Structure 1
C-alpha cells in the first residue's frame, strides 16, 4: 500500500506539533508510513516545543516515504513558514491551504493511499480566498463529488455518528431537512459501512429533531412529516434503519449496543456525544468519496499551541483509520 499524505493544518495551531508527536511515537503505537506536505522548518520548531528532536528528510515522490519513515519524517514540497504558535495570520493560512491543495492532489491522482488533514481555521482561510465551508467540501470538489454527497462521519471507539446538516445555524435546520436528504445521505453512510468498515448489514439509528422525537407531534411534527417517511423509504430499500429516536436517550451505553452508526439531524446533536465519549480518539471521516480522507476531530486549539499540552491521540487514530480504510479498499 502507498504511504498516507498528511496536510499541515494551520501552522499556528496544534496540528504541526501533533504530526511530530505521531512520528515520534510511530513504533510504540504502530503507525504505517506517512509523509507530510510542506512545513519542514515549521515541523522541526513545533517538535522542539514538545522536546522532540525531529529529523526531516525531503522526498521528491510519495514512493520514497516508506524507505525513510523509520529514521526520519518524510516531507514533500517546499512550502514552509515560521513557527508562531497561537498567532494565526494570513501567511499561515496560505501555507495551510498550499499543503491541503498539494496533499489532496496527490491522493486524488492515486500517488498516496489516503489523506489525513490537519485542523484548519476556516475564518483565516476565508481571508486568503478559500470559499468552501470546510475541508470536507474542498476534498469532495477535488474528487468531483457533489458537496451534498460527501458525508461527514465522526468515529471513535465508543460511537459513530453522522450530522445530516453541518455548518449552518440551528434555526435553519428544520427547513433544510427533507425525506430526500435523509434517504440520500443515510444510504451513502450505509454503503460506506459495508465498503470501508466491513459491516455487511449496518444498523442505522436515526435521531428525531425535537425533544422526545416530537412526542407524536406535540413538540414538533418533523418526525411525522419528514423523518419517519425517510426511515420507511430506507427500510423499503433494504437497509436496517430504526427511529426516529429521542436523541437524549440514543447515546447511552445500552442504546449504543443496538446500532452501528447514529444519524443525527444537526451538528451538535452528533458532535456533543462523540466528543464527550471519544474526544482524544475521535476521527472525522468523509464518506461517499472515491478517496479516503480522515482528520482528527478537534480544532486548531490556538490557546494551547506550542505548550506541549495537546494530546496526539485523535491524530494517531485518524492515521490508523485512514490506513485501515485504504487497506480494506485495496483488498476488495
Structure 2
C-alpha cells in the first residue's frame, strides 16, 4: 500500500440467509480491478459462492489479494445457512461482524464501514436491543469514547435527503420536531456536506410537514411555530438553511441545483423521491459519526436470495460512496 493509499473498506456479513453473500460476491466481481475500492468481507468464507475467496489475517492483507479474490476476514462459529431461510443461530456472528468492522474503522485499519442488510426482528429474538444498524453503530462508537450524533441520509437519483424523523407514527412527528432536533440535524448535515461530500458552502432546504408548507398557518402550524424559527436561528449562525419548502416541490428544486441537500420531516416523505428516482441504486449513509458508514438502501431480500436473483446495484453504490467519503476526509486532514 502506498503512503497515500487509504485502508480497505470493511464490509459486514449482514444476515447470511439474505442477499448479503450474493451481493458481496457480485460487488467484488464488479469492483475488483479498482484498488481504490478495495474491501474485505467480515463473515464466513463457506457462505460465499461463485467467486474466488481468500481468507486474510488482517485488513492490511486485503489490498494485496483484492484483484484476484474476495478477501474474507473469517468469523468463527458461523453456522450453515440456506439462502432465504433465516436462522437465529446466525445472530451472534451477524452482531460480531458489525463490532469488528466498527473497531477496525475506529482504529484506522479500515477507511469505512459498509453494512450488508440485517433482519432486526431476528436479532431481537436473541437479545439485540437497538432499533437498527444506525443506533448500534453509534453505540459502538460512543462505547469506544467517541462522540456520535447519527443522522440518516439517503442518496440516489441525484438527491441527498436527510431525515428529521425515522420510524415513528405520523401523530408523533410534530412533537418530535421540537426541542432543538432540527438545529442539531442541520448542523450534522452541514458538516457532512463539507467533510464527506466536499461541498464548501452547502445549501440545505427544510421540507414542510404540512401540504404547501402549511399555507401561512392555515393548513397546520408546525412550519410557523417550529420549522421556520429553527431555520431563522440557523441562518443567524451563518448556515444556508431555507425555511420550510413545500414537500411537493422541494425535491424538484434540489434536482435543479437549488439545494445540496433536503432535510425531510418524515421517513416516507424523504424516501419516496429517492426510491422513485433510483430504486435499485439508493444508498443509506449515517452522518455524524467519527467513522464512514454506508449501507444498501434495502432489506435482506430473502425471496431474492432463495431464487438467486439478488441485485448488487445498491451495495456497489454504497461501496463507491464510502470510498468517496473516506477520500474527502483524508483531503481535509492532509
Which TM-score band applies after superposition, normalised by the shorter structure?
A: over 0.9
Hey, what's the Cα distance between the residues in 2 that align with 1:255 and 1:101? 37
**2:285 is the counterpart of 1:276:** no
Give the one of 13, 21, 30 matched to 1:8. Answer: 13
Aligned with 1:86: secondary structure?
coil
Q: Which residue of 2 aligns with 1:32?
A: 37
**2:46 is the counterpart of 1:41:** yes
Hey, what's the Cα distance between the residues in 1 that align with 2:47 and 2:32? 23
Hey, what's the Cα distance between the residues in 2 that align with 1:235 and 1:331? 28
Relative to the length of structure 1, the TM-score reads 0.93
Q: Which residue of 2 aligns with 1:110?
A: 108
Structure 1 255/116 Cα, relative in aligned 2: closer, same or farther at 3 Å?
Answer: closer
Farther-moved stretch of structure 1 (5-14 vs 19-28): 19-28
| Per-residue deviation, 1:243 | 2.6
Hey, what's the Cα distance between the residues in 2 that align with 1:297 and 1:245? 25
| Per-residue deviation, 1:292 | 0.4
Hey, what's the Cα distance between the residues in 2 that align with 1:324 and 1:157? 17
Aligned with 1:97: secondary structure?
helix
| Per-residue deviation, 1:296 | 0.8
Contact 2:157 2:278 in 1 (8 A): yes
Contact 2:147 2:289 in 1 (8 A): no
| Per-residue deviation, 1:259 | 0.5
Q: How does 1:91-240 map to 2 (within 5 A)?
A: 91-144=89-142, 149-178=149-178, 180-240=180-240
CA RMSD for the aligned pairs? 1.7
Structure 1 3/125 Cα, relative in aligned 2: closer, same or farther at 3 Å?
Answer: same
Hey, what's the Cα distance between the residues in 2 that align with 1:106 and 1:3? 10
State the aligned residue count.
Answer: 323
Aligned with 2:250: secondary structure?
coil
Hey, what's the Cα distance between the residues in 1 that align with 2:244 and 2:37? 40
Contact 1:12 1:302 in 2 (8 A): yes
- Structure 1's unaligned 5+ residue stretches are 45-51
Q: Which residue of 2 aligns with 1:49?
A: none
| Per-residue deviation, 1:240 | 1.0
Hey, what's the Cα distance between the residues in 1 that align with 2:35 and 2:204? 31
Hey, what's the Cα distance between the residues in 1 that align with 2:223 and 2:159? 23
Hey, what's the Cα distance between the residues in 2 that align with 1:94 and 1:312? 25
Aligned with 1:281: secondary structure?
coil
| Per-residue deviation, 1:157 | 4.2
Aligned with 2:279: secondary structure?
helix
Contact 2:214 2:221 in 1 (8 A): yes
Structure 1 316/30 Cα, relative in aligned 2: closer, same or farther at 3 Å?
Answer: farther
Any idea what the Cα deviations from partners look like across 1:149-205, whole Å, max 9, x if unmatched? 211111124100011111222221111111511011111100110111110111101
| Per-residue deviation, 1:239 | 1.0
Q: Which residue of 2 aligns with 1:59?
A: 56
Aligned with 2:162: secondary structure?
strand
Structure 1 255/246 Cα, relative in aligned 2: closer, same or farther at 3 Å?
Answer: farther
Structure 1 segments (4+ residues) deviating >6 Å? 28-31
Farther-moved stretch of structure 1 (80-89 vs 197-206): 80-89
Aligned with 1:216: secondary structure?
coil
